[in-house]
Amino acid sequence: MNAIAAPAGKPAWLGKLPDLRALGAPLVIVLVLAMMLVPLPPFLLDLMFSFNIAVALVVLMVSAATKRTLDFASFPSVLLVTTLLRLSLNVASTRAVLLNGHTGTGAAGQVIESFAHFLIGGSFAVGVVVFAILTIINFVVITKGAGRIAEVSARFALDAMPGKQMAIDADMAAGSIDEKEARRRRAEVTQEAEFYGSMDGASKFVRGDAIAGILILFINAIGGLAIGALQHGLPVGQAVDQYVLLAIGDGLVAQVPALVISVAAGLIVSRVGEEDIGRQVATQLFSIPRALGLTGGVLGVLGLIPGMPHVPFLLLASLCGWSAWMLARIAARPKVDEPVVAAAAPNAEASWDDVAPVDLLGLEVGYRLIALVDKASGGDLLGRIKGVRKKFAAEVGFLPPAVHIRDNLELHPSAYRIQLRGVVVGEGQAFAGMYLAINPGHIKVPLAGTVTKDPAFGLEATWIEARLREQAQAAGFTVVDASTVLATHLNHVMQSQAAQLLGRAEVQDLLAHTRKYAPTLVDDTVPKVVPLPVLQKVLRNLLEETVHLRDLRGVLEVLAEQAGTTPDAEVLTREVRVGLAAAIVQHLYGSSRELGVLAIEPGLEQVLVQALAPQATAPLDPGMAEVLCNQAAQAAQEQEEAGLPACLLVPDRIRSPMARLLRRRAPRLHVLAHSEIPRTHTIQIQRVIGVTP
């Protein structure tokens, strides 16, 4: 095997070493913890305190320059490490102060001594007040505000996750982004929620650090006084000057970097947009001439009031007025440097990119139903829809188009609607976390909940709480969850609109699938004998009357025999139905050989033949058609209530027009022709439909 060559310019042994960046964080944490246990000399303490201040300033500068929150996603960890570093330095400096404080104020290094003398003038009373003010600013104002922002942002980020992930899925399904980009966006959404959750917890580090600083200050002061006066025999005044000043200097050395880190945390969690804070503030705060002009006018009036300091107010008023004048001139200057193309971009010519395709099958949901789609929240609607498509393909005989799911804020929060080619074909309401108790029709037990109707079949139903589920099931109700309600409604719509779902692409895919096991039949029939548009029309006619296409071989065989005699799709559909008669009857009646059917009174049947048969001259009276439709719908309902299929037997010549006439008023009524009854079956007339002409 050949050895892997080391990069140019690096020794071969360097490639075998572990990545130092991976070891950096553990080593730093170990060294920080070691400072709590190992005594440090004053010089090393000075170096570490200076390093602590430098790290705080670097974190502040990075926070101010960061354009996006996630660009500094390691900030919660940095906050923990810097807090741990300050506390370790407090422990190390406390040890040095208590051990060597009797030797003078330089016992713990020059940094603490300088803070004790330079910042507070050597007065411990001033030091206590300054330290208390810094602690209040850090603890009460900055840390508390940043923690609250992080808490609210974490809550909003978690609530918005399903909607963002659903939008990503919709964009990927629509082809706007590829799978790689969708994966990156999902990871970013998850990382954003995790970041704000971590910041919510990390803000407690700063709060605890402030409390620890106060306690350490008092412990150092009291312990130093006791050690100096009792152990080293120093006068009380000298012990106060040395130990208390050192304790205050130590507290200030730790509190100043803590304040800087807190400000950085506030900048990180309070940012809005994708722009660094300096440019954002300069653009938004100092870019309106009117605001600067009014500010300059107010400052000028204050500067002219007797007793006021004239120079500061008038100087600032002049600066604001000059800035407003300059901004107004810049805004009024013609923008000659901009290219003509950029100015004409909003009015550019339309292109095919502006044409958005209409989804063949879509589902829009209100924002409260987004949880049903989000797998992370336990939603299983996507899995249910996959099952619906699989069931549809197995039953109907062709693969339906994908269901594109989108959220729609214009809908009621708990509403949804199903669209076919952009047209609403079904709508309803579902309540996530609740159950729909459907009354089969004979239950009189009342349920506590919201009374409604099953959106798929129109049955009486009630939305109930989860705790009432077992009670409703025991009473005989059919109880389903919200995802099942949507999936069932979608399945019902797909079954009823199967003809519209069969487009030219689906027909070609169906032929390609059939060609795998009957290649010769497909090649000899389409398009040699039956053109593709005629085949699509025949298949749609079959689907409109719930005749499935699983036996496409049988359909093609009938068409191959009959297509040479006529190109009429209606005639071909009739012949195909006769060829599939056994399958149609079995689909309706199962294995029963005795077919209970509805029939039309002979006199009326003769009138219908004269009015509806091909080349008929006398149209059907509208009043008679209305009464006929009402009686057919009532008879079909009675048949279904008796547990029998609702089938109307009519002469062959009027089967197709009768089916179209009754489809709107009695959609569940099947119309059969005499030639579609197999010889192996017998007919039993259950009811007769008849009206007076």
Per-residue tokens: 349: 């010519």
Is 123's pLDDT higher than 80?
A: no
Is 436's pLDDT higher than 90?
A: yes
Please state the three-class secondary structure of 89-138 as a single string: HHHHHHHHHHHHHHHCCCCCCHHHHHHHHHHCCCCHHHHHHHHHHHHHHH
Is 427's pLDDT higher than 90?
A: yes
According to the model, what pLDDT value does residue 277 have? 66
Instruction: Let me know: does 491 contact 527? Beta carbons within 8 Å.
Output: no
CA 240 to chain centre: 62
Which comes out higher in pLDDT, residue 602 or 619? 602
Which comes out higher in pLDDT, residue 434 or 306? 434
Whether residues 492 and 566 fall in one domain: no
Is 230's pLDDT higher than 80?
A: no
* Domain span holding position 511: 504-579
According to the model, what pLDDT value does residue 118 have? 63
Q: What is the DSSP string of 250-296?
A: HHHHHHHHHHHHHHHHHHHHH--SSS-HHHHHHHHHS--HHHHHHHH
Whether residues 626 and 654 fall in one domain: yes
Whether residues 259 and 223 fall in one domain: yes
Instruction: With cut-offs at 50, 70 and 90, classify the pLDDT of residue 337.
Output: very low
According to the model, what pLDDT value does residue 1 have? 38
Is 343's pLDDT higher than 60?
A: no
Instruction: With cut-offs at 50, 70 and 90, classify the pLDDT of residue 495.
Output: very high
According to the model, what pLDDT value does residue 341 have? 42
Per-residue tokens: 590: 């199962």
Instruction: With cut-offs at 50, 70 and 90, classify the pLDDT of residue 272.
Output: low
- Stated pTM of the model: 0.52
- Determine the Cα–Cα distance for residues 271 and 75; give it in Å rounded to an integer: 14
Q: Which residues are paired to 480 by β-bridges?
A: 436
Instruction: With cut-offs at 50, 70 and 90, classify the pLDDT of residue 500.
Output: very high
Whether residues 660 and 573 fall in one domain: no
Instruction: Let me know: does 288 contact 271? Beta carbons within 8 Å.
Output: no
Instruction: With cut-offs at 50, 70 and 90, classify the pLDDT of residue 423.
Output: very high
Enumerate long-range contacts of 400-404, CB under 8 Å, 24 or more apart. 400/361, 400/494, 400/501, 400/506, 401/360, 401/361, 401/501, 401/503, 401/506, 402/173, 402/361, 403/361, 403/362, 403/363, 403/490, 404/170, 404/173, 404/174, 404/359, 404/361, 404/362, 404/363
Is 340's pLDDT higher than 50?
A: no
* 32 assigned to some structural domain: no
- Determine the Cα–Cα distance for residues 469 and 433; give it in Å rounded to an integer: 11
Whether residues 133 and 219 fall in one domain: yes
Q: What percent of the chain has pLDDT over 70?
A: 81
According to the model, what pLDDT value does residue 403 have? 92
* 23 assigned to some structural domain: no
According to the model, what pLDDT value does residue 264 have? 79
According to the model, what pLDDT value does residue 177 have? 65
Which comes out higher in pLDDT, residue 165 or 489? 489
**Least confident span in 174-178, 280-284, 377-381, 624-628:** 174-178
According to the model, what pLDDT value does residue 106 have? 58
Is 261's pLDDT higher than 50?
A: yes
Each residue of 518-571: pLDDT tens digit? 999 998 888 888 999 999 999 999 999 889 999 999 999 999 888 777 788 888
Each residue of 195-220: pLDDT tens digit? 777 776 766 776 777 777 777 777 77
* 6 assigned to some structural domain: no
C-alpha dist (Å) from residue 235 to 18, 240, 242, 302, 333: 57, 9, 11, 54, 75
According to the model, what pLDDT value does residue 170 have? 60
According to the model, what pLDDT value does residue 339 have? 43
The whole-number average pLDDT for the span 183-199 is 77
The whole-number average pLDDT for the span 78-88 is 79
- Determine the Cα–Cα distance for residues 26 and 689; give it in Å rounded to an integer: 88
* 7 assigned to some structural domain: no
Whether residues 423 and 492 fall in one domain: yes
Instruction: Let me know: does 538 contact 569? Beta carbons within 8 Å.
Output: yes
* 8 assigned to some structural domain: no
Each residue of 29-43: pLDDT tens digit? 777 777 777 777 777
According to the model, what pLDDT value does residue 392 have? 92
Instruction: With cut-offs at 50, 70 and 90, classify the pLDDT of residue 159.
Output: low
According to the model, what pLDDT value does residue 671 have? 93
Whether residues 545 and 641 fall in one domain: no
Which comes out higher in pLDDT, residue 340 or 127? 127
* 190 assigned to some structural domain: no
Whether residues 490 and 631 fall in one domain: no
The values of phi and psi at residue 193, to 5°, are -65, -40
Q: What CATH number is given to the structural domain containing 390? A: 3.40.30.60
Mean pLDDT of the chain: 80
Is 162's pLDDT higher than 70?
A: no
**Strands across the sheet with 450-453, in order?**
450-453, 460-464, 435-438, 478-481
* 346 assigned to some structural domain: no
- Determine the Cα–Cα distance for residues 661 and 672; give it in Å rounded to an integer: 14
Each residue of 387-409: pLDDT tens digit? 899 999 989 999 999 999 998 88
Tell which of 480, 499, 518 closes a domain.
499
| Greatest Cα-to-Cα distance within the chain, rounded to the nearest angstrom | 131
* 16 assigned to some structural domain: no
Whether residues 616 and 559 fall in one domain: no
Instruction: Let me know: does 236 contact 117? Beta carbons within 8 Å.
Output: no
According to the model, what pLDDT value does residue 5 have? 43
Whether residues 513 and 439 fall in one domain: no
According to the model, what pLDDT value does residue 13 have? 46
Tell which of 547, 579, 611 closes a domain.
579
C-alpha dist (Å) from residue 54 to 33, 58, 283, 360: 19, 6, 29, 61
Is 334's pLDDT higher than 60?
A: no
The whole-number average pLDDT for the span 74-87 is 79
Specify the number of domains making up the chain: 5
Whether residues 533 and 645 fall in one domain: no
Tell which of 240, 259, 281 closes a domain.
281
Whether residues 453 and 529 fall in one domain: no
The values of phi and psi at residue 116, to 5°, are -70, -35
Q: Residue length, the chain?
A: 693
